[in-house]
């Protein structure tokens, strides 16, 4: 099946480029690899029936936020290192990062994959057992945009309006913080 | 075109892996911009979990992704403004050398 093949392709692309984000020395390549991760994730969103979210992911994340990051990297001229200069932490920091990452991954993998051993009572098993496919029904009834817009403007109307306030505060805060102070 | 519901655990594993990479990156790097990138990576990993669970538990998960994206945009704007402001003061963005509050 082509959907399964695409799912594996996008998963591998997301994880590999995510690794490159962390391991590249040059901040510009880190930002560009993060864009690749975001594109792969939006492909995964399409395969998981979240078409509108996938479009927003490309426009807002890969388009707007990453351009903002790239712009700041270039504004601060962080693109080049001289000689052995690096921003990786020392041996202790690397050990801590590796330990925390592996432990976290092991814990989550156990929670997700080890459900049969744990009695099969986890949220994944319950979710799969029910499986009424509410998103598919909403997509049938309202289309890809309407499926998200319906609840967004109905039961989540007040949080949605508060989001606009949050963005306004963020704009004002960003301007105040980044403004050049006159002596 | 979509994958069957049995892909939920696999989606969660991908999400967990991405989140772990983000955590490792925050601990590994000293460049404030890279740390921000890793935070964005973690936020997106959580979005993947929301979308994966939304298929069985209702469209509300996708609405939540919407709010996560709005908060991430606000956080990126303010955070980058702070980084620019700090850079003007110190001429670098190495988080180990911002030690004004250390004793």
Q: Is B77 in contact with A68 (Cβ distance < 8 A)?
A: yes
Q: Is B24 in contact with A98 (Cβ distance < 8 A)?
A: yes
Whole-number pLDDT of residue B67: 94
CA-to-CA separations, A23 to A13, A16, A36, A81, B20, in angstroms, rounded? 15, 11, 15, 15, 14
Whole-number pLDDT of residue A82: 59
Q: Annotate A57-75 with b (16+ C-beta within 10 A) or e (fewer).
A: bbebbbeebbebbbebbee
A152 Cβ partners below 8 Å, 6+ apart? A160, B63, B66
User: Helix or strand or coil: residue B98?
Assistant: coil
Q: Tens digit of pLDDT for each residue in B34-44?
A: 999 999 999 99
Q: Which residue of B has its CA nearest to A147?
A: B59
Whole-number pLDDT of residue A81: 62
| CB-nearest partner of A127 from B22, B57, B78 | B57
Inter-residue contact B48 to B18 (CB < 8 Å): yes
What is the percent of chain A with per-residue pLDDT over 90, rounded to a whole number?
45
- From chain A, pick out residues whose CB is under 8 angstroms from the CB of B51: 44-45, 48, 50, 53
Whole-number pLDDT of residue A86: 73
CATH number of the domain to which B28 belongs: 1.10.287.3510
Whole-number pLDDT of residue A80: 66
User: Helix or strand or coil: residue B5?
Assistant: helix
A78 Cβ partners below 8 Å, 6+ apart? A27, B31, B33, B93
Count how many domains chain B has: 1
Enumerate residues 41 to 80 of chain B having a beta carbon within 8 A of any beta carbon in chain A: 41, 44, 47-48, 51-60, 62-63, 65-67, 69-78, 80
Q: Tens digit of pLDDT for each residue in A108-167?
A: 877 776 655 555 555 566 666 665 777 777 887 888 888 888 889 999 999 999 999 999
Residue B34's domain spans which residues? 5-101
Residue ranges in chain B modelled with pLDDT below 70: 103
């Amino acid at each position: 099946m082509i959907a399964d093949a695409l799912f594996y392709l996008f998963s591998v692309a997301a994880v590999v480029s995510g690794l490159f984000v962390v391991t590249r020395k040059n901040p510009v390549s880190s930002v560009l690899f993060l864009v690749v991760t975001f594109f792969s994730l939006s492909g995964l969103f399409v395969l998981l029936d979240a078409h509108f979210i996938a479009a927003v992911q490309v426009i807002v994340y890969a388009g707007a936020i990453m351009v903002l990051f790239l712009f700041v990297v270039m504004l601060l001229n962080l693109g080049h290192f001289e000689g052995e200069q690096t921003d990786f932490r020392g041996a202790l920091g690397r050990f801590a990062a590796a330990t925390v990452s592996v432990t976290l991954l092991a814990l989550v993998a156990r929670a997700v994959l080890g459900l049969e051993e744990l009695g099969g009572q986890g949220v994944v098993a319950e979710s799969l057992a029910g499986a009424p496919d509410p998103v598919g029904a909403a997509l049938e009834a309202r289309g890809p945009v309407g499926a998200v817009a319906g609840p967004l403007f109905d039961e989540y109307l007040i949080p949605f309006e508060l989001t606009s306030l949050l963005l306004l505060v963020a704009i004002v805060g960003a301007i105040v913080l980044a403004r050049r102070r006159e002596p | 075109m979509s994958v069957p519901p049995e892909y939920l655990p696999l989606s969660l594993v991908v999400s967990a892996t991405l989140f772990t990479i983000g955590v490792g990156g925050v601990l590994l790097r000293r460049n404030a911009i890279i740390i921000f990138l890793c935070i964005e990576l973690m936020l997106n990993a959580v979005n993947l979990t929301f979308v994966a669970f939304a298929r069985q538990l209702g469209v509300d998960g996708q609405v939540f992704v919407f709010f996560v994206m709005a908060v991430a945009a606000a956080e990126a704007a303010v955070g980058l403004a702070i980084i620019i402001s700090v850079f003007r003061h110190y001429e670098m963005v190495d988080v180990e050398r911002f030690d004004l509050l250390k004793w």
